[in-house]
Structure formats: structure tokens, C-alpha cells
Amino acid sequence: MTGYQTKPNKMVGTKKPPRMPQGFRLWYERLIHMIHHSESEVPAPVVAHIEQPFSHDLPHLNPSDMTLPQTEKVFNIKPADGYQSWQFPSVNVPLPAEFGLWLQKYDELTELSVFTEAKSRCRVDALIVAVYRSLSDQGLLQNPTGTRVTLALESPLAWGPVLHQNVPHTCIGTADYSLLFGEKDHMACHLVIIEAKRRGCFPDQGQILAYMAMVQTNRRSRGQSNWTVWGALTDGWVFHFYQLNMEGEWSVLQLQARREGWQAIANMFGSIVLHAQQACNSPLRLSLSSDQAPTSKKRKSAASTAPRIGSLQLAPMEEFMSEFEDVLDEKYIFMPWKLTKMKSIVEKWQSFIEGTDGWTTAFCENHDNGRSVSLFGPDAPEFREISAKMLALMMVTMTGTLFIYQGQEIGMINAPREWPIEEYKVQS
């Protein structure tokens, strides 16, 4: 999806729209060409809007008015199947001893007041501060790129054009909270979106997922290597935690203060903060940071405190091959696979040495697996060469010591499966 980012307070009421970005102009020209050469009929409202001169003044679509089916259709997302790994917290976030007492006294003080969103936000504020303090005290928010986490209030988000009821719109709204990772307030860096509602009032999930999808689409359009986004919808007593993964699949986990307890909620919130920080430290993330090139002094400091993992680490690429085998269900022949899954696995094992003094390796063939051309790409005669060159180009651009398995240098493929056993001859 192509689009533009803008901030609501700068867009509304502007008489002269900003100059059309080059990328959008090329996309727009291509779109014009497509509607005039399409074999199927394009809806008349779509044609009418597309053929108008470009303008940022498209009709607005407010996420707070969007139902879940609308959000799923507009941003092409869908629910994930089964339990997801992120739903099991990866960190323990000890809460201060006075946390429960503070909430108790706050409830006593506001007992006679009506339940409003402001009352819920005070409880959310207390949780955010407690989790931030705990993660900071454990040193878990320190990282070699210097990426800091900032709590942003009333975060304006906008993305467009998006197609709603066959009409292009700008999706525009304001999230109650967001966690911003980095030095620049760029929409692509707001990886945790938080919406607070008055007690017992949980509207349709469309709003929170629309905000998350806007951030994800922005990150994906900018070529970020990880565009997973997290969110939380809460009334201060019940928390719905969300993840929107790189396949555009969303999942949710509900935790209640009276059922699972505040410690479980804190662990989950702390876990998604660390997941988001890791995503923002992915290789292409630095293009959005004002600290793009650390000084030699910073490099020396980071190196002196980096954890040691050994000068040559062979395990990661073995883990990479194993992890990808789990996706393919077959280690010798081609099986359909998703590019987004490949990217997430490669990014994981290419970035794991960041902040350490270790080194890694790079390979995609060995004696335990089929030939990479047959495993990852079509190995038919007309495609064998281009598949082999594609894989070679990917491998030589990776970080780490490159290993070439015998025969890989000539693009060797698997022996035909239909060959009988007699074709396998032993040289005497």
C-alpha cells in the first residue's frame, strides 16, 4: 500500500496542499494507467476520485468510527490462528511494593466520582511509570544504538489514501498514548499504541487496530525490515494486549487485574515494550533516527561494555536453517513460503550480535539440507540460473563469514526425485 503521512493539526484547514511527493506521483500515474487499461470494470466513484487532481483534502475516516470488519478490509488485515509466542511474557517486571497501596488509596479517594476516561487514565499512567522504572532499573532499556523510549500523549496519526466504501479517504485520528522509540517523532517509530476507555466501556476493536495498521503501513512503505506493531486497549482494570504481525495478522490477549493480577499485566506490558524496542533496532531502523552515526567515543564505550558471546558463533545460521525448516515442513524440496517470514528470520539472526563483541556466519546450504535453489526457488531449467544468482546476491550482502557448500558456486540443484536407485552409482 502506498501513501503519505501527515499530522492532523498541520493538515486540517490548510489552504494550499503540500507538493505531491515523487513516490506518490509515480504511484498515482500508474493508477491512472491501470484504470484505463483494466479488463474489469472499476467502480464509478473510484474513477471519479482518482481522476481529480491530487489533493490532501480527501474525505477523512476516523478510526474511532471504524468497526473491526471495516478496519480489516481497509488495511487488509485478519485475525491470527491459535496462540502466538508473544502472548507468553519474556520478562519479569517486578512492581514496587507501594503500587497496590497507591491504587487502593486512589480508588478510595475517587470512590464517589463517576467512571470517566480520565479516571481510567490515572491507573494506566501508574502502570506505565512502574513498568518503565522496573525495566530501567534492570538495564533492559539500554541498547547500543542509543534508541530511547518516550511516552507520547495524544499522538496524532494519519495515513492515506485508503479505500473505504470504494472511495479514497485519509485515515486520521489521535491515539491516547503511544510509545515512541528514537529521537525523532516520526509516525513509523510509534510501535506501541495505547487506548484508554472508561470502565466497562470497550468499543469495537476497529479503532485500536486501525491505529496499529496505520503505523505498520508507514513502516512497511519506508522499507523497514520489521513492521510488527503492538497495542493495548484498557479501562484501567481489564487490559486487551494486541500484536499486528508482519503477515498482517492480529492477535489479542486479555488480562484482568482481579483475575490474573497486576503482576501478570506488568509482565506482559514490559514484554511488548522490549519487543518493540527490538523491532526498532532492526537494521533499517537507523534511517529514522537522529543518532544515525555514533561517534568513535560512543563506539568505544559500547564495545567496552558489550556482552561476550565468542569470537566465531556458528550456531545462529544453524538455528536459521532449522527455523525455516519448521515453516516449510520439508528440508529437501520446495514448499510455498512467505517472503515476510523469510525476512523476519533473516533479520532476527542478522541482528542478534548487535551490541556484542561476537561474530556470525552466513550460509544457506550444507549436507543436512537440500540444495538452496531447489529448496527456496524454482529450479526448473528456465529459472535455475536466476534463482541461484538471487540467492547468491542475498548471501554476499549478509553480515558474517560466508560459507559456500561444494556445488553451490555453480548453482547445483537436487537430483531429480523420479530417478531410480540404479542411477546412483558408486565410483570404485
Instruction: Specify the 3-state DSSP secondary structure of 251.
Output: strand
Q: How confident is the model at residue 266 (pLDDT cuts 50, 70, 90)?
A: very high
Of 162-176, 327-341, 386-400, the least confident: 327-341
> Tell me, what's the pLDDT at 427?
61
**Is 383:343 a contact under the CB 8 Å cutoff?**
no
Q: How confident is the model at residue 269 (pLDDT cuts 50, 70, 90)?
A: very high
Contacts of 211 (CB under 8 A, 6+ apart): 63, 157, 173, 175, 193, 195, 231
3-state helix, strand, coil split of the chain in percent (to 5) is 40, 15, 45
161 preceded by a cis bond (ω within 30 of 0): yes
> Tell me, what's the pLDDT at 345?
76
What is the arithmetic mean of pLDDT over 228-257?
93
Instruction: Specify the 3-state DSSP secondary structure of 196.
Output: strand
For residue 199, the one-letter residue type is R
pTM for the whole thing? 0.57
Residue ranges of the domains in the chain?
56-288, 306-410
For 57-93, the pLDDT digits (tens) are: 678 889 988 999 999 999 999 999 888 888 888 789 9
Residue with cell 480520565: 118
Most confident of the following: 55-59, 149-153, 305-309, 344-348: 149-153
For 214-231, the pLDDT digits (tens) are: 999 888 877 777 889 999
Cell numbers describing residue 307:
556482552
Residues forming a β-bridge with 156:
174
Of 37-51, 260-274, 314-328, the least confident: 314-328
For 2-36, the pLDDT digits (tens) are: 444 444 443 333 334 444 455 555 666 666 667 66
Contacts of 281 (CB under 8 A, 6+ apart): 143, 145, 147, 351, 354
For 380-398, the pLDDT digits (tens) are: 888 889 889 988 888 888 8
Other residues' Cβ atoms within 10 Å of the Cβ of residue 358: 17
